[in-house]
Structure 1
Amino acid sequence: MKRCRLILYMLCLVFIMMACGKEDTETKKNDMVYTSENLATAGVKGMVNSFVVWQGRIYMYTIELDDEDEIKQIPHLYSVDLSGNGLEERDLPNVEGKIENLIFLTDNENLEMFLEIQTESEQDRCFYVVDYHSREKKRLENFVQFSSEEAMVRVLKVKQGQIVVATSKRFLVWNEDGTGQTEIKSQEPYIECIARTKDGDIVSTQTDQKKMKISRLNAETWKWESVLTVKNISSVSGGESLIDGRDYDFYYRDDTGIYGYSFEEKKQIKLLDYVASNIQSSYIYSIVPVALDQMVGIAEDGNNGKEKFVLYTKVDPNEVTEKTILVYGAMRLNERVKDAVIQFNRNNPKYEIQYRDYSSYEDPQQQFAVDVATGKVPDIIDLSDVSIKQYVEKGLLENLLPYYQKDEDVHLNDMLSSVVKAMEIKGGYYYISPSFRISTLVGKKKIVNDTERCNLKRLEELAQENQEASLLICNNKEDMLNVLLAYSINDYIDWENGVCKFDGERFKDLLNFCNQGTYLDNDSEQNETEQLRMDKVLLTTASIGAEDVEIYRSVFGEEVSFVGYPGQEEGETYFSFQDVLGMSVQSENKEGVWQFLKMFMMLDYQGQIQDAGLINAGIPTREDAFEMYMKTRTATEDYTDEFGVEISPMKYDWGDGDVEISVTPLTLDEEKQFRNLVSQTHLTGYYEETVMGIVEEESSNYFYGQQSLDKTIQVIQDRVTKYVNENR
């Protein structure tokens, strides 16, 4: 009966969601494929500050940092053709004062530069428009200085040559000769992005996480009119969401591709699909169409982090190779996984992965439930923000153990033994993860009395022994409960049998302990690091990598203990796995899914997770890759790793307020402490947002005296038990 009720409920949702799908752009996938060609711009110095494509050439303004004086900036003005050749450098315009910013302005006949200039004789900045070729200049009269609450969004040249400066609050308009400044109010509270239409008007966007509203400002009447609202849009990138018109009246982009819009036809059409074109959208800083089938953009080089110009050219639809489609679905798309998708799509001759971004829907969980009911579950499920144990009990995830057992390239025993133990669920393995961090509480070793782990009783003793100090940076009752329960909440839930244990003494003791906290936040003028050093705060939450052993010893000013979070008998440290992916049991292409999943578990992939100095850099789950990672943290001399990468000894600066730390290779003692921490961790902190929400809501009633402890526990027990049985 339980299964029948669940299926009936989800089928009902189908009818609710049928009209809530993505905008239909009436474009076949093969008609949205572009190739990418890096433009060789040898001789260009500095980082591109602004650029424009005009009459077949790319014009750019760059800023170079002086090798001897990093504060000193050297500006350059370049142009190249669309093949990256024919580099020309011109002197900057001769003006009185320092050029703080240069923005290109174009129309069909003219290329001009908008200059923001700081002079010694004027307290405020002044603004000029200078012709690129003749260098004729005109000053914008009566330029209203921006308030502290507004920033410049963009500068455009529109119909009849007017110059428009858009701030986050308003539009300032000058005649072509720089006179007659007027102000146009925005019809939205905040201007995010503007673009010039093909006929010289202005379009502006207002976005939230689910939709983008586009309005048109007539550059002759200065009246607003609504154009369209794009629903279920995927991760609009704010200032880069609109693109000037060319063959279409204007263009817009989201995290899936680029669209052209026609005023006459009153519809948009998807022109470029990032996934089908093997383009990582988050690497694109800016992109502009230069022909009906070509675009030019600035993108980050994923190999070295430097910027590059890229020419994107449309592929003949008849030449696009047909592949079997796999769908990667996520409540929130993961950038590292997207990088892996691009790599997989380029190299795999049989399969191609496409995205399904549930965060673009009004109710992501409900949409996923509809997909389950209709047999449209993604082949690859991102499990980072969901309850994995719940999904396992529902039968949504494939057991990967048989795949490990028959694969010639990856095996369970390739992984760290503690990781293998932590990943096991009911004798199976339902997800992969290439990396992790370790979640724990950390404190001074002398204060916790050499305790390796702190259970709830030991935390109570610490609080009693140090009554002048706070146990945590925030002793607010609700925050304490969240910190002390979040990782261990699955101890109270048996998804397999639908049983909960919130009515036991352990949970009762936890609520009692948290109720000894305050109703206030920590209002000290000192930051957390200073309070930890001075023993005003005893413990802090930590997500640990190897170098953090050294960092926390420096933070506390002495040796530390990683005491975990209160578990069933003693304190427990938890693996926080990254890039967690599973295979849908409904997938019709499981072999293709496994080819993608195993990629994350190969040495070729994990052996490159080693960037010292990256915040929250992952620790490889493979044992051989883990040893490579540890070598990057302990080496005292330069060496070349197994992939031919030259590695230097770890050295970077870490700081918090007045505390500054130079992070260097780990000592033998620090290395031993971290290795012990990894080997002794055997649990996973599974995500249980809904259950935590129930517990926090009901516990708040107890903390504020609105409900007794026994009543609170019974309500939590009943509500969570009901939720578990309705959703397993």
Structure 2
Amino acid sequence: MKHKRAVCLSILLSLLSGLLFSCSEKPAETTESPINSAPGDRTEITVSYMDDGSRYLPMIAEAFNEKSEKYYAVLREYSSENKTGDDPDSYAKLLSDYDADLLGGKLGDVLILTNDIDYLKYAEKGAFADLYSFEGDGFSFDSLFDCVRAPYELDGKLFVLIPGFQLNTLTCKTANAPAGEWTLSGFVGLLNTSDREIIQGLTRDHFFSSYILRGLDEFIDYESKACDFASGGFEEVLKYLYSLPDEIYSSSGNKETGPYINDSFLFNAASFYSFSCFMKEKVLFGLDNPISIIGYPADGEGVSELIPSLYAAVSESSEQKEGAWEFLKFMLENEFEMSIERGMRNLPSCRSSFLKWAEAAKSTHYFFMPGSVEFLEVPAEFLDEATIAEQKRRGAAELFMDEEMTRQLEEFIGGIKGVTKTPPEIKAIVEEEVGYFYDGRNSASQTSANIQNRVSLYLAERQ
């Protein structure tokens, strides 16, 4: 009997030992990221993009997959799938293949284009769905700032959206805004006749890149596919360009507010990508003075340069257009365009996102040094009475995104009238011909004529 008990006990211990051993050998369970996990019974949509070195698209897709009950986004990074080397020929072939695949409807449902790609050529060839056809279901395109819609419309249709943007433009005190038409040739006339500096630091390269290249739309009629570089106005602009120095020294630093407050400088070339940029501009011209965007002189009303974070479109050949549109809406309405960890790098295109971020930014205070646009940014967790007292002792101006500042900035963005839409190919033509003008090979008149001929040919080929 004792022997049987011993045998049974031995068998039981052996079984327990085997069970414990098998458990110890079993690998630990891993939780897959929602971007890689199985979609379950959700409908799959493909998001095609080219990696720009950021984590923006993967973060968007992961968040979308966590929240969407109906759709599941799968990322497809085009260059890693198709690039065969690092030499220029390989990259040129990659772009050529991308061009063919996009036009052939082979890239999936959501198409994400980097901001240096000419989206218009794809829109003109019918590669994108009209986004206005998706209006409704809780979304109105009126929730977007006008400046991110109007420039991208084609024949009353909208083919791309941009989640966020940066803005380059000219600003001034509202009281000093130019009356009448605001054109590049008129601006040159003002610069030639004024006894003031008007704007700081005009060198040849600065004037060419900041004013001529951004003001070319004044000489182009995109609807009629015509241009007017040879009638004399552009020639006068080139002559003024040639008169400028290569370098310039100004006794007023570009961070000093005095020359702008006392109207020694009327205009400022400004960039906007965060709330603090707007505060800096207000401080520059004096907090008591309303400021306005006047834009770079062109087209009569002035134009601003809008730099999209990216272009997002729905493929016309997609069989999951509704799902693709849900992904685009998610991009517009979430907070990834501005990350607390990375800092604010773009202004949001959607008003609801703008207001959400303005509310979140209320807790951050900005202390501007007297007579300067240099500032100290203090998040809420570091803001105490001692810090505030020290900054007041220094005479610093304390600003933050209260309701009035939010209202002013929203109105300021809403005041962007025109956005330059000059294709990169036309800019390249002008750069090349002006280079020949710089080195004396061609006169201003011949340069204008050459640009007229080449741009006319380019526009004709786009018909």
TM normalised by structure 2 equals: 0.69
- Counterpart residue number, 2:271: 543
- Counterpart residue number, 2:121: 390
Q: 2:62 aligns with which of 326, 335, 342?
A: 342
Q: 1:356 aligns with which of 77, 89, 96?
A: 77
- Counterpart residue number, 2:388: none
Q: Counterparts of 1:303-314 in structure 2 under 5 Å? A: none
CA–CA separation in structure 2 for the residues paired with 1:667 and 1:612: 22
Task: Indicate how the Cα distance of structure 1 residues 684 and 659 shifts in structure 2: closer, same or farther if over 3 A, else same.
Answer: closer
Q: 1:704 aligns with which of 425, 430, 439?
A: 439
Moved more, 654-663 or 323-332: 654-663
- Counterpart residue number, 1:329: 49
Does residue 376 in structure 1 map to residue 106 in structure 2? Answer: yes
Amino acid at match of 1:572: V
Q: Count residues in correspondence.
A: 395
CA–CA separation in structure 2 for the residues paired with 1:495 and 1:394: 16
Task: Indicate how the Cα distance of structure 1 residues 659 and 566 shifts in structure 2: closer, same or farther if over 3 A, else same.
Answer: closer
- Counterpart residue number, 1:626: 354
Give the match's secondary structure for 1:566. coil
Amino acid at match of 2:118: S
- Counterpart residue number, 1:238: none
Q: Counterparts of 1:493-572 in structure 2 under 5 Å? A: 493=220, 498-518=225-245, 520-522=246-248, 527-530=253-256, 533=259, 539-544=267-272, 545-555=274-284, 559=289, 560-572=291-303
Task: Indicate how the Cα distance of structure 1 residues 508 and 398 shifts in structure 2: closer, same or farther if over 3 A, else same.
Answer: farther
Instruction: Summarize deviations over 1:510-536 as a string: whole Å, max 9, x none.
Output: 334323322x13456975324984888
Give the match's secondary structure for 1:371. helix
Give the match's secondary structure for 2:171. strand
Flag the structure with higher helix content. Answer: 2
Amino acid at match of 1:414: S
% identity of equivalent residues:
21
Equivalent residues of 1:478, 1:696 under 8 A apart: no
- Counterpart residue number, 1:367: 97
Instruction: Summarize deviations over 1:99-148 as a string: whole Å, max 9, x none.
Output: xxxxxxxxxxxxxxxxxxxxxxxxxxxxxxxxxxxxxxxxxxxxxxxxxx
Give the match's secondary structure for 1:571. coil
Equivalent residues of 1:400, 1:431 under 8 A apart: yes
* 1:429 CA drift (Å): 0.9
Give the match's secondary structure for 1:542. strand
* 1:652 CA drift (Å): 3.6
Task: Indicate how the Cα distance of structure 1 residues 629 and 325 shifts in structure 2: closer, same or farther if over 3 A, else same.
Answer: closer
Task: Indicate how the Cα distance of structure 1 residues 517 and 584 shifts in structure 2: closer, same or farther if over 3 A, else same.
Answer: farther
Task: Indicate how the Cα distance of structure 1 residues 337 and 653 shifts in structure 2: closer, same or farther if over 3 A, else same.
Answer: farther
Amino acid at match of 2:73: E
Equivalent residues of 1:493, 1:499 under 8 A apart: yes
RMSD: 4.2
Amino acid at match of 2:254: E
CA–CA separation in structure 1 for the residues paired with 2:219 and 2:57: 32
CA–CA separation in structure 1 for the residues paired with 2:144 and 2:409: 17
Does residue 441 in structure 1 map to residue 170 in structure 2? Answer: yes
Instruction: Summarize deviations over 1:214-245 as a string: whole Å, max 9, x none.
Output: xxxxxxxxxxxxxxxxxxxxxxxxxxxxxxxx
Q: Counterparts of 1:8-47 in structure 2 under 5 Å? A: none
Task: Indicate how the Cα distance of structure 1 residues 416 and 496 shifts in structure 2: closer, same or farther if over 3 A, else same.
Answer: closer
Q: Counterparts of 1:179-194 in structure 2 under 5 Å? A: none
- Counterpart residue number, 2:144: 415
Equivalent residues of 2:338, 2:345 under 8 A apart: no
- Counterpart residue number, 1:50: none
* 1:654 CA drift (Å): 6.9
Task: Indicate how the Cα distance of structure 1 residues 515 and 377 shifts in structure 2: closer, same or farther if over 3 A, else same.
Answer: farther
Give the match's secondary structure for 1:683. coil
Task: Indicate how the Cα distance of structure 1 residues 387 and 320 shifts in structure 2: closer, same or farther if over 3 A, else same.
Answer: closer
Task: Indicate how the Cα distance of structure 1 residues 657 and 357 shifts in structure 2: closer, same or farther if over 3 A, else same.
Answer: farther
* 1:503 CA drift (Å): 3.4
Give the match's secondary structure for 2:168. strand
* 1:400 CA drift (Å): 0.9
Equivalent residues of 2:227, 2:452 under 8 A apart: yes
Moved more, 701-710 or 520-529: 520-529
Amino acid at match of 2:270: A
Give the match's secondary structure for 2:425. helix
CA–CA separation in structure 1 for the residues paired with 2:208 and 2:370: 26
Equivalent residues of 2:163, 2:337 under 8 A apart: no
CA–CA separation in structure 2 for the residues paired with 1:424 and 1:587: 21
Does residue 598 in structure 1 map to residue 329 in structure 2? Answer: yes
Does residue 403 in structure 1 map to residue 124 in structure 2? Answer: no
Q: 2:207 aligns with which of 480, 493, 518?
A: 480
Task: Indicate how the Cα distance of structure 1 residues 459 and 715 shifts in structure 2: closer, same or farther if over 3 A, else same.
Answer: closer
Q: Counterparts of 1:54-69 in structure 2 under 5 Å? A: none
* 1:494 CA drift (Å): 5.1
* 1:625 CA drift (Å): 3.6
CA–CA separation in structure 1 for the residues paired with 2:341 and 2:281: 16
Task: Indicate how the Cα distance of structure 1 residues 455 and 499 shifts in structure 2: closer, same or farther if over 3 A, else same.
Answer: closer
Q: Counterparts of 1:665-684 in structure 2 under 5 Å? A: 665=400, 673-684=408-419
Equivalent residues of 1:437, 1:575 under 8 A apart: yes
Amino acid at match of 1:442: T
The higher-RCO structure (CA 8 Å, 6+ apart) is: 2
Give the match's secondary structure for 2:243. coil
CA–CA separation in structure 2 for the residues paired with 1:362 and 1:656: 50
TM normalised by structure 1 equals: 0.46
- Counterpart residue number, 2:390: none
CA–CA separation in structure 2 for the residues paired with 1:526 and 1:357: 48
CA–CA separation in structure 2 for the residues paired with 1:596 and 1:344: 7
CA–CA separation in structure 1 for the residues paired with 2:108 and 2:370: 42
- Counterpart residue number, 2:154: 425
Equivalent residues of 1:387, 1:687 under 8 A apart: no
Flag the structure with higher strand content. Answer: 1
What are the ranges of 5 or more consecutive residues in structure 1 without an aligned counterpart? Answer: 1-81, 84-275, 280-313, 636-647
- Counterpart residue number, 1:471: 199
Instruction: Summarize deviations over 1:315-372 as a string: whole Å, max 9, x none.
Output: 8xxx786964514223746533332122224444543322334496512532322324
Amino acid at match of 1:586: S
